Amino acid sequence: MIDLKEFVKDPRVEEVLTSLCSSAIDLSKEISLGDSGGDHILLVGLNSDGDGQKKLDIIADDIFCKSLKTAGVGFYASEERETVETLNKEGDLGVAIDPLDGSSNIDCNVSIGTIFSIKEVKNKNHPEEDFFILGDYLASGYFIYGPQTLLVFTVGDGIVKFSLNVENNKFISLDSHSKIPKQVHEYAINSSNSRYWPAPVRSYIDELLDGAAGPRKKNYNMRWVASLVAETHRIIERGGVFLYPADDREGYSEGRLRKIYECGPIAFLIEQAHGLATDGIEPIIGSTAGSLHQRTPFVFGSKEEVETIKKFYEDPKSAHAPLFRTRGLFNR
């Protein structure tokens, strides 16, 4: 299925990653059924945090949970579950997972994925406390289900990429660069929410929209897939920056992406690819969550560009710049 010995030295982590790969193969088959899979894409209810839950979300969660239990994982924290599940009392590893990120795009045939992190659980009586710490990861990564099924992960020593060979169900190691390109030509943000953005974000986007005629002296392309895994993979491959800020809409004051299941694992991966991930100001890695399903603003990508966005938040003058005008950090 996959040979990880060259990349993973901890046999416990190797076993968990192998289990995740097995589950991802099964899930990719379910996804590939599309409409022929019956009611996979039907909305069947709400998850523990009030988001719409499709049948395939539940199927994905069940596939990973059962497989990880046989791999000796002690604790399972899923976006689809309200609390941390104890799988094996003697197990000392915990997995935090978004079993099917981007599931709202299933009916559009857009790339979707699975986001995960692996860490040691020291407080077995209250395992959620270990998950609250964003960092101390033994591994993190994602599977992306698109034209290919890919695995991208890190154990804290750069990033590693694998591609699934569907003919033999084996993940093959890819020869690929391990650094996010420094040059930024693309940015990702949902511009339909621009009227709700905080002023620093408006000012930053203004400067990008000014293009070659503005202070940046070059043009930018905007991308927005609404699938975090797809956005992450593009940035790792091509560079750029992703922004999902907090805004003035009801329920979005603390951002929308989940700190434990989505932002933490992606942040660790991005930093290992020589990028940076923050909440706009503070790094995600090294921060803490107050609850399992806490949300956070999220900015990540090419390091220098993320640092520039931080300057917009810290510069009081940018807070008064009008949307889609020329005033901002680089032109006073």
How confident is the model over 196-229, as pLDDT tens digits?
999 999 999 999 999 999 999 999 999 999 999 9
Q: Model confidence at 323, in pLDDT bands (50, 70, 90)? A: very low
Would the pLDDT of 42 be above 70?
Answer: no
Q: Do the Cβ atoms of 126 and 138 come closer than 8 Å?
A: no
Q: What is the pLDDT of residues 139-191, one digit of tens each?
A: 999 999 999 999 999 999 999 999 999 999 999 999 766 799 988 999 999 99
pLDDT of 322 reads 46
Write the CA distances from 329 to 91, 293, 314, 317, 322, integer angstroms: 50, 34, 10, 8, 13
Integer CA distances (angstroms), 20 to 13, 16, 67, 114, 155, in order:
10, 6, 7, 10, 15
Write out pLDDT tens, residues 231-251. Answer: 999 999 999 999 999 999 999
Out of 81-95, 248-262, 306-320, pick the least confident: 306-320
Own/partner pairs, 167-170, CB within 8 angstroms, 24+ separation:
169/1, 169/25, 170/1, 170/2
What does the DSSP 8-state code read for residue 255? B
pLDDT band at 46 (very low <50, low <70, confident <90, very high): low
CB 189 within 8 A of CB 181: no
Candidates 85, 66, 62; CA nearest to 19 is 66
Q: Given a cut of 80, is residue 133 above it in pLDDT?
A: yes
SS3 for 164?
A: strand
pLDDT, residue 316, reads: 61
Q: Is the pLDDT of residue 121 over 80?
A: yes
Domains of the chain: 11-173 (3.30.540.10), 186-320 (3.40.190.80)
Predicted confidence band of residue 320 (pLDDT cuts 50, 70, 90): very low
Q: Parallel, antiparallel, or unpaired: how do β-strands 221-223 and 186-188 relate? A: parallel
Residue 36's pLDDT band, with cuts at 50, 70 and 90, is low
Predicted local distance difference test score (pLDDT) of residue 43: 64
Residue 28 has pLDDT above 90, yes or no: yes
> Which carries the bigger pLDDT value, residue 109 or residue 95?
95
